[in-house]
Amino acid sequence: MLFKNITILDENLEVREHMFVGTDGARIAYIGKTEPKTDYGRAYDGSGRLLMSAFYNCHGHSPMALMRGYGENMVLQDWLTKRIFPFEAKLDSKAVYWATLLTMAESLRFGIVSTSDMYYFIDDMVAATIDSGAKANISRAIVSGGESDVWKLASMQEMKRTFEAYHQAEDGRIRMDVSIHAEYTSDVAEVEAVSAYGREAGARMHVHVSETKSEHEACKAKRGMTPVQYFAKYGAFDMPATAAHCVWIEGEDFDILKEKGVTVASNPVSNLKLASGVCNVPELLKRDIRVAIGTDSVASNNSLNFFEEMKVFALASKMYYQDPTAVTPRQTLLAATRNGALAQGREDCGLVKEGFRADLLVVDIDQPNMNPVHNMLNNLVYSASGTDICLTMADGKVLYENGSYPTLDLEKTIAEANAATRRILAAL
């Protein structure tokens, strides 16, 4: 495809107008001020449009789409025990497939091309992601099973089997991570076993860390250390790792995250909605700790609108410090794009750059909410809406355009997801 006469956000997050961008197969082949002589196929009129890197959602639970709006106005523990856990106990393979596909459709609508997904029914999640054309880093979350031999746990076996079956499938679109659910759902033997397997397999680690104050303080009381210290001690951070939430980290935690090269996936909307708190993003950035953005599930967020997520990401930090300069639009956009790609191990993604994967989105900047333009980065973070996205592309393939999904049947997906929800509710 050749994007013609389009404004772009280039590899340095600089705005360049009246540009030509050509994609060849999965990659960006040309960026220039003049129209190339090479035929890149379909010509896309970029007038009144902006081309930028697509988004990388670094923490999600896609099958939980069926629980959107199901547990509202509840404290986290009640939300989990009275709503989420009973519903999850009734999930089956079919429900997970259609829930994941629904999440992929919503993700693509809002410019997300890749999700770091942590859940179970991994085969069905992989199948749905492949069918959608999107990308994902998928991990089977391990929780404590009370077994003396942790490898007797069905979850451990599923983790190993699916990693070996799907890692780097679909030309790298599907990547398998390893995952320990959280400190409070684990024991030392499982952390050590999963970490050892992950290191041996060359995997990445995905884990919940210090999401709530009660979780954080309980760990200190029980183990004499914070969750960050616990995971570092038993090997979870001895590989590339993403720590989701990190709302209540403190003191030495920052030093450990920096030393180990851990990426923090901030989930601002979910954390605010559940009243868990606000991640100290400015301190993380000050210490050169990589920060990416996650949505968590729509059960605790309700939307995958990544422009909304970016805005709250910036605003929450400003309120945290009562400092309007705390997090800039540039830092926010980096967290949503390049930092997210790097957190997923996608080194050739997250930038509008020749040779990089063509993971791209197009924003309609001819809308009233996007004008006037004093600073385009400001407008993208504070003014843009997810509905301003008119095209999403992954690996050079258009997966969403102006309400159309070339790779999936949206009407059927919605119908099947709703049918699965009704079936589960009837069984409760």
**Using one digit for the tens of pLDDT, what is the confidence trace for 374-426?**
999 999 999 999 999 999 999 999 999 999 999 999 999 999 999 999 999 99
Using pLDDT thresholds of 50, 70 and 90, give the confidence band for residue 44.
very high
pLDDT at position 357: 98
Give dist(CA 119, CA 128) in Å, integer.
14
pLDDT over 90 (residue 15): yes
**Residue 176 and residue 210 share a domain:** yes
Same domain (yes/no): 361, 271: no
Q: For residue 76, what pLDDT is reported?
A: 78
- pLDDT higher than threshold 90 for residue 148: no
User: Which of 294, 322, 343 marks a domain boundary?
Assistant: 343
Predicted local distance difference test score (pLDDT) of residue 387: 97
| 218, 194: one domain | yes
Residues 105 and 229 in one domain: yes
Structural domain contains residue 149: yes
Residue 36 lies in a domain: yes
> Does residue 420 lie within any of the structural domains?
no
Confidence of residue 305 (pLDDT cuts 50, 70, 90): very high
Q: Over the stretch 172-191, which tens digit does the pLDDT of each residue have?
A: 999 999 999 999 999 999 99
What is the reported pLDDT for 350? 98
Same domain, 326 and 281: yes
The predicted model gives 123-131 an average pLDDT of 98
What CATH number has the domain bearing residue 39?
Answer: 2.30.40.10
> Do 61 and 164 fall within a single domain?
yes
**Whether 327 and 304 share a structural domain:** yes
pLDDT confidence of 78, banded at 50, 70, 90?
confident
Q: In this structure, what token pair is assigned to residue 15?
A: 């705005």
Residue 325 in domain: yes
Which of 296, 324, 343 delimits the end of a domain? 343
* The pLDDT value given to residue 30: 98
Across the range 335-363, mean pLDDT stands at 98
Given 343, 366, 393, the domain boundary residue is 343
Specify if 69 maps to a domain.
Answer: yes
120/262 same-domain check: yes
Q: Please report, for the domain that includes residue 298, its CATH number.
A: 3.20.20.140
Is there a domain that residue 110 lies in? yes
My answer on whether 233 and 274 are in the same domain is yes
**Domain limits for position 271:** 55-343
Q: Where are the alpha helices (DSSP H) in 186-280?
A: 188-201, 213-223, 227-233, 252-260, 268-273
**Are 175 and 318 found together in one domain?**
yes
d(CA 45, CA 54): 19
| Residue 409 forms part of a structural domain | no
In terms of domains, do 247 and 294 share one?
A: yes
Q: What is the pLDDT of residue 79?
A: 87
Asked if residue 115 is part of any domain, the answer here is yes
Radius of gyration of the chain (CA): 21
What is the 3-state composition of the chain as percent helix, strand, coil, each rounded to the nearest 5? Answer: 40, 20, 35
Say if CB 29 and CB 354 are below 8 A apart.
Answer: yes
With 80 as the cut, is the pLDDT of residue 147 above it?
no
User: Could you tell me if 38 and 114 lie in one domain?
Assistant: no
Place of tokens 């004499």: 224
- pTM (predicted TM-score): 0.98
Strands 2-9, 15-24: pairing is: antiparallel
**Residue 358 to residue 342: CA distance in whole angstroms:** 15
Number of structural domains, the chain? 2
pLDDT tens digit string along 214-269?
Answer: 999 999 999 999 999 999 999 999 999 999 999 999 999 999 999 999 999 999 99
